[in-house]
Structure 1
Amino acid sequence: MLDINDLALHGLTLRQLATIEQLADVTGLDSEAIGTALDQAVADGRAIAARGAYMITPAGREHLDAVYPGAFAALRSDAQLVSTLADFEHGINKKNLALMTSWQTIVIDGTEQPNDHSDSDHDAKVIDRLAQLHDRATVLLAPFADADALCKRFLARLDDALQKVDHGEHDYVSSVRIDSYHTVWYQMHEHLLRVMGEERDE
């Protein structure tokens, strides 16, 4: 597994640009530990800091690419996890992408248009499908949640986003400005691929 310094860097690969508080939310580490790790990353040239946020550098990515094989060797050699990721990648992940398209667009007179969310029936059906997909994802990814604390945390964050959606905060379906279901799913997918040494199939 990754040590604290590498986990902070890894978090930057999932959020791209992030504050200490945002990385603490992603990784589950406390803010003080994240801050210390990021200070070291900046000193090592593996991250840059600007206006209270951090971004990984090419040197940081190169460092992680060298660290991942050893840190995740046990997970990458687990046949069940390899199979689970393949099922996720070619099945439920594609369904999630289609579902998000259904949320963001709507067909009117045979033409696909941006969804202005005035059709509450359409939106309710998409949210119902999202809840069903979430249940399936939780079951499918259980082997990863058992083997990897960060994956377990991602599933909990997805559950939090879905609960907000259920309480009427519909921005939590796909808004990029917050930790919406779509945003957290994207981060989780990127994490799984990096853990297992795979590329996006999109």
Structure 2
Amino acid sequence: MPSHVSDTGLLVLHAVRLGGMIEARAAAARFGLEPAPVTELLLDYESCGWVRRADFAGIGGWSLTELGRAENERQLAAELSSFGTRPIVADAHTAFLPLNARFQTAVTRWQVRPAPGDPLAVNDHTDFRWDDRVIDSLGSLGRRLAALCTGPAEAMARFDGYGGRYAAALARVERGERRWVDAVGQDSCHTVWFQFHEDLLATLGIARGSES
């Protein structure tokens, strides 16, 4: 059975939710949509009070308002009910939690390399064995993420792609582009991981930080 395909309006609002602050073209690319209709929808949503546009010093994009966040959550809940896919997403979330703890540890080890007298010393990436062990951990977690995404992606098309995006970021890390572990504003390992977590939370209506 093919994956359920989400409504375009939901996808646009959800792309803004996942992106935090995102340009229309990037929101369109997130789910393989055409940029022009996405721009029109964002302008409509601005009129509804669901999104706002901000620009400062050459940096800008669309973000959700509180009304928009509530509308996105309403749409997602209705979609889960309509598709009957809540158990699949809930199982994925349960399996994700221990992996998330391991991922947070790996990223911390990437950023911090304890030194004598300074347990919180910044990792200067001169200890290649240390970094290689972290990269190995990130690789293992990436494979588990890809496997974990299979169920939700087979049920709902919008969950597809996380594993491939994470693998692409990790490949750049392995080529020596260290910023692709945890950089913001690009599809780093951390960005992809964070967005998948946010996708699960938003879809299930769980507040971030309230998980046991």
Distance of 1:39 and 1:120 partners within structure 2: 49
> 1:94 — aligned with what?
101
Structure 1 pair 66/84, CA: closer, same or farther in 2 (3 Å)?
A: closer
Counterpart residue identity of residue 138, structure 2: L
State the Cα RMSD in Å: 1.9
Structure 1 residue 127, shift from structure 2 partner? 0.7
Contact 2:182 2:189 in 1 (8 A): yes
Q: Which runs of 4+ in 1 moved over 6 A?
A: none
- Specify the code of the residue in structure 2 equivalent to 1:161: A
Alignment of 1:41-56 (within 5 A): 41-51=45-55, 53-56=61-64
In the TM superposition, residue 188 of structure 1 has moved relative to its aligned partner by: 1.0
2:9 matches 1:5: yes
Q: Does the residue aligned with 1:54 lie in a helix, a strand or coil?
A: strand
Aligned-pair identity in percent equals 29
4, 19, 25: which one aligns with 1:21: 25
Q: Is the 8 A contact 1:193 1:199 kept in 2?
A: yes
Other-structure match for 1:126? 134
Which stretches in structure 1 are left out of the alignment for 5+ residues? none
123-132 or 135-144, larger mean C-alpha shift: 135-144
* Structure 1 residue identity aligned to 2:90: V
| Residue 131 to residue 106, structure 1, CA distance change in 2 (3 Å) | same
Superposed, 1:78-157 pairs within 5 Å as: 78=87, 80-89=88-97, 91-109=98-116, 111-157=119-165
Does residue 1:38 correspond to 2:42, yes or no? yes
Q: CA deviation at 1:150?
A: 2.3
Q: Does 1:178 align with 2:186?
A: yes
Aligned pair count reads 199
After superposition, what is the alpha-carbon deviation per residue over 1:24-62, rounded to whole angstroms, capped at 9, x for unaligned? 232322222321221111122211123351111122112
Q: Give unmatched runs, 5+ long, in structure 2.
A: none
- Paired with 2:8 and 2:132, the residues of 1 have a C-alpha distance of 41
The more displaced of 93-102 and 31-40 is: 31-40
1:141 to partner: Cα distance = 2.6
The amino acid across from 2:33 in the alignment is L
Contact 2:54-2:62 at 8 Å conserved across structures: yes
